Amino acid sequence: MRPKAWALGMINFNIHTDKIESIEEHKLPLIEAIKELKSADRAYERMIRVGVGSFFEYEAAWRDFLHAIDRVWNKTAARCKNEVKWPKLKSKYEGLRKNDPLLKYIIQARNVSEHTISPVVKDWNANLRARPTKNGIQFDWNHWDRPLLPVTNRGTTFLPPKKHLGKPMNFYMRSGQEEPKIVAECAMYFYLEMLNEVGKEVFG
């Protein structure tokens, strides 16, 4: 599910390994949005590096991701606002951002992160349990996760997404991977595809 590379016209850019400087010389119309996608990927990489380590660092990386990924849309809309072919695509993507559970949640979690002191993710609760068995003691614990929290913005509460683009989140989940990481991957892939389409349709 993790985005690997994206192409705009004749330019190929690997969001994970290539440096922004490698494509700046091409003067791409959406370069500012691409930079934000790269920033989101750096925050995502920090989440991976932290892993089961510091929750403070993990939460900080997640909040940075929320802000960077939302700016991908903001920078795209700002660059395209006077383009003749933009209104149709703008309507399409505004509708998706408004109605898709995952995209809507990310927007609202970003708003809560920016304007309130409410938490947006919580640490793993192992809830270690021991029970006797015929052969000794059986230990059980909750599966590894750092679950997303419901966020409340202007009196409306938004729950962590259960669906994305018509598919249940179980379709995207992988064993041993925490919820924020999977949601981040889905969001990056969505905005990567958006930049592809806008680049081709508006500036192609």
Q: Which two tokens stand for residue 36?
A: 């934000």
Beta-bridged to residue 6, according to DSSP, are: 13
Angstrom distance (rounded) from CA 36 to CA 21: 14
101 occurs within a structural domain: yes
Total number of domains in the chain:
1
1 occurs within a structural domain: no
Whole-prediction pTM: 0.86
Buried b (16+ CB within 10 A) or exposed e, 38-76: bbbbebbebbeebeeeeeeebbebbbbbbebbbbbbebb
Please give the pLDDT value at position 105: 97
Q: How far is CA 76 from the centre of its chain?
A: 16
pLDDT 10s digits, 129-159: 677 888 877 766 456 578 899 999 999 999 9
Evaluated on CA atoms 69, 71, 74, 75, the torsion sign reads negative
Contacts 24+ apart (CB under 8 A), 170-179: 172/1, 174/1, 176/143, 176/144, 178/124, 178/144, 178/145, 178/146, 178/147, 179/145, 179/146, 179/147, 179/148
Please give the pLDDT value at position 22: 81
pLDDT 10s digits, 121-131: 987 665 566 77
Q: Which residues contact 28 (CB under 8 A, 6 or more apart)?
A: 8, 11, 34, 199
132 occurs within a structural domain: yes
In terms of Cβ atoms closer than 10 Å to its own Cβ (0-12, 13-18, 19+), residue 147 is middle
* pLDDT average per 10 residues of sequence, the chain (204 residues): 53 78 83 94 94 92 98 98 97 98 98 94 68 75 74 95 96 84 95 92 89
Contacts 24+ apart (CB under 8 A), 135-143: 143/176
**How many of the other CB atoms lie within 10 Å of CB of 28?**
19
Dmax over Cα atoms in the chain, in whole Å? 74
| Residue in this structure with the two tokens 């999977």, named with its chain if needed | 182
Domain that holds residue 42: 6-203
Please give the pLDDT value at position 143: 60
Please give the pLDDT value at position 10: 44
Angstrom distance (rounded) from CA 72 to CA 162: 23
